[in-house]
A and B are shown apart, each in its own frame.
Chain A
Amino acid sequence: MIQLIDIEKVYRTKTIETVALNRVNLQVERGEFVSIMGPSGCGKSTLLNIMGLLDEPTSGYVAIDGQPVKTHSDSKLAKLRNEKIGFVFQSYHLIHDLSVVDNVELPLLYRKVSGGERRKRALEALEKVGLSARTKHFPNQLSGGQRQRVAIARALAGNPEIILADEPTGNLDSVMGDEIMDILLRLNQEEGTTIVMVTHDENMALKTNRLIRFFDGQQVADSRVLEAQI
């Protein structure tokens, strides 16, 4: 579903060159729940951003459903992100000036969907994450766990094939973290949504069906690969 071929990401300033990703090759299959672990600064989030077409690799390329996206225009990339990918961020990134339901409608704003249909799908997404009672609240009226649930509902509203979650439980206590993890697991198991999650939490990672470890910009272990070798 998503292929990363020989991905390199190098950040250059006048005095220093930092290799964030070093020749990464990775393939994520449809319906997988992949977790990516590694120490801070090892390139996990960079990988996720490149996978989500938010950032460009210095070399190598990304292919979605077998189609390389290297030559895609800004508008075409935006369309791909809108239709295929949903993002969940560690710090939620909700728009404070919009109500919960307006936040959830966001991915549908960039599609030809009527206002009524948008609202219906946003409410359905909120129901999936158990937040039907908070639709008219604003983000600053919610707890961290509730905000993350709104963020997941927003990612779901566009009915994407893949959800990329960057430390979705990183800012939450263990109870709330478990709640969020349960929602993601349910989405993967019941609806077949492909999920790639960056996490620092080994317990969370072990609940997924594939664990990739990163170190210094390189992929050092892949649990599915290990299983195959065993």
Chain B
Amino acid sequence: MLRNYLKIAWAVLQRRKFFTFISLFGISFTLMVLMVVTSLYDHAFGPQMPERESDKLLFVNNMREQFKEGYTNSSPPSYYFLNRFVRPLKTPENVSINSVFTSVNSYVNNKKLTLDQKHTDAAFWDILDFNFIEGRPFSTQEVDNATRVAVINQNTRKNYFGDKEAVGQTIEVDQVKYKVVGVVEDVPVLRLHSYADVWVPITLKSQDFKRTGLKGTYFATIKAKQASDVPKIKEEFASMMLQVNKNSKPEGVQEVFSFADDIFGTFARSLMGGGKTDKSAMLYGIFAFAAFLFMLLPTINLVNINISRIMERSSEIGVRKAFGASSKTIIGQFVVENIFLTLLGGMLGFLISAAVLEMINDSGIIAYASLGLNLRVFAWGLLLCLVFGLVSGVYPAFKMSRLNAVEALKGGSK
């Protein structure tokens, strides 16, 4: 029976080329957009290198001061705040302090190279899971001694040394010479807390250590022993902030706010204008609603196309009913046909998505992006296809199955 349905579905697709094109275009384009967005989400917030253990990681990237006059001012926290109040937290397994990346110039073979440089401590390398191609991270001792060593990414190695090994060589960045101790795989720029082209010891920026304000140019990356410790860390962080507000807030400031959030939480909080509460759930809700609206239009369109497509086949419905198909069987047939159509559109959507993601990767719009259709994204896409097929197929199929057999045979509507 299924073979018969598929034969019919294939023949109908071929017979009505324009409708087929509109349907397939609608499905594949919608899926392509959803797949690209899902892939971007996965790339930015999923458990990817070097933040593979994202369920154990928290980030502190904002310090907001609310002044007595009513206005607020926010920026990344200072080294002082992170070192004095965040590093001593008891619940985390490890805390790293690292600078916001800054763009610096370098000259290789008389060619200007703009590189993003980040200052980090040694804990940074323990917490995050970089893929080392060569060498090693810099050690605690090298950080303590403010040794001029650097870990560079693959792209920077290529720019400086071509295909040769980089470890042991010297690079000059922003007029400072560093000895390369390690080379890591490129980290996409969307991983704001980990990304750089060149990582150097944080102690080379020790002039920042003396400043005692709460705002600065640093992040903290916190790793929990286990994922279940994350809420406890957040609680400890919140009570630490109470103490900061009580004892250490700057003059003229009514209240200071800072939070330890997971990677999506930091994004949600900054996108939704700060605030005391975690905005992740709200942002997920907005994303889901947007995706629903985005899918609603093509679905309604498909339902309409399907109704007119199926209406043309009312005589076939009449014949099938005459020869023993029940309404349920007719619904089954049209749903199968629709799922076939949407899976076909889905396959096209996957191919187009892969091409678009490749184009994004090659274009350099997102530095070091390696967007791809991984299994998780693939599974979501497949599920979306099936939902799409069912939603856009069930209603027309139900409507058509209720056609009176005699009227259907006459080719009319009920």
Hey, which bits of chain A sit against chain B, CB under 8 A?
49, 52, 54-55, 74-75, 77-79, 81-83, 86-87, 89, 93-95, 97-98, 102, 105-107, 109-111, 115, 154, 158
Cβ–Cβ contact A95 & B319, under 8 A: yes
Per-position binary interface string of chain B over residues 1-28, scored 1 when its CB falls under 8 Å from any chain A CB and 0 otherwise: 1011001100110010000000000000
* Residue in B12, B323, B325 whose Cβ sees the most chain A Cβ within 10 Å: B323
The reply to whether the CB of B320 lies closer than 8 angstroms to some CB of chain A is yes
Known: A79-B324, A95-B8. Contact between A109 and B404, CB under 8 A? Answer: no
Cβ–Cβ contact A97 & B319, under 8 A: no
Hey, which bits of chain B sit against chain A, CB under 8 A?
1, 3-4, 7-8, 11-12, 15, 315-316, 318-329, 404-406, 409
Cβ–Cβ contact B409 & A89, under 8 A: yes
Known: A79-B324, A110-B323. Contact between A55 and B405, CB under 8 A? Answer: yes
* Residue in B322, B325, B406 whose Cβ sees the most chain A Cβ within 10 Å: B322
CA of A79 to CA of B151, assembled, Å = 75
CA of A154 to CA of B316, assembled, Å = 14
Cβ–Cβ contact B404 & A154, under 8 A: no
Which residue from chain A places its CB closest to the CB of B408 in the assembled complex? A54
CA of A198 to CA of B406, assembled, Å = 16
Find B320's partner among A83, A89, A106 (CB 8 Å cutoff). A106
Cβ–Cβ contact B323 & A106, under 8 A: yes
Q: Which residues in B have their C-beta under 8 angstroms from that of A102?
A: 4, 7
Cβ–Cβ contact B326 & A78, under 8 A: yes
Q: Which residues in A have their C-beta under 8 angstroms from that of B329?
A: 78, 110
Q: Which residues in A have their C-beta under 8 angstroms from that of B409?
A: 54, 89, 93
Cβ–Cβ contact B3 & A115, under 8 A: yes
CA of A83 to CA of B406, assembled, Å = 19
Cβ–Cβ contact B322 & A54, under 8 A: yes
* Residue in A49, A86, A97, A102 whose Cβ sees the most chain B Cβ within 10 Å: A97
Known: A97-B7, A102-B4, A109-B4. Contact between A52 and B322, CB under 8 A? Answer: yes
Q: How far is the CB of B194 from chain A (nearest CB, A)?
A: 56
9 tightest A-B contacts by CB?
A82-B324, A97-B11, A78-B326, A110-B324, A54-B405, A107-B323, A75-B326, A93-B319, A87-B322
CA of A158 to CA of B315, assembled, Å = 20
Cβ–Cβ contact A107 & B406, under 8 A: no
CA of A85 to CA of B321, assembled, Å = 12
In the complex, besides A81-B323, A95-B8, 16 extra interface pairs with C-beta distance below 8 angstroms are: A49-B406, A78-B329, A87-B322, A89-B409, A93-B322, A93-B409, A98-B7, A106-B319, A106-B320, A106-B323, A107-B324, A109-B1, A110-B323, A110-B325, A110-B329, A158-B323
Cβ–Cβ contact A105 & B321, under 8 A: no
CB pairs A–B below 8 angstroms (12 shown): A54-B409, A55-B404, A74-B327, A77-B326, A79-B324, A79-B326, A89-B409, A93-B315, A95-B8, A105-B4, A110-B324, A115-B3
CA of A101 to CA of B328, assembled, Å = 25
Which residue from chain B places its CB closest to the CB of A56 in the assembled complex? B404
Cβ–Cβ contact B406 & A55, under 8 A: yes
Q: How far is the CB of B19 from chain A (nearest CB, A)?
A: 14
Q: How far is the CB of A172 from chain B (nearest CB, A)?
A: 19
Cβ–Cβ contact B324 & A81, under 8 A: yes
CA of A52 to CA of B1, assembled, Å = 24
CA of A107 to CA of B4, assembled, Å = 12
Q: Which residues in B have their C-beta under 8 angstroms from that of A87?
A: 322-323
Q: How far is the CB of A113 from chain B (nearest CB, A)?
A: 10
CA of A55 to CA of B405, assembled, Å = 7
Cβ–Cβ contact B323 & A82, under 8 A: yes
* Residue in A93, A102, A111 whose Cβ sees the most chain B Cβ within 10 Å: A93
CA of A105 to CA of B329, assembled, Å = 16
Which residue from chain A places its CB closest to the CB of B318 in the assembled complex? A93
Which residue from chain B places its CB closest to the CB of A99 in the assembled complex? B7
Q: Which residues in B have their C-beta under 8 angstroms from that of A115?
A: 3
CA of A75 to CA of B328, assembled, Å = 8
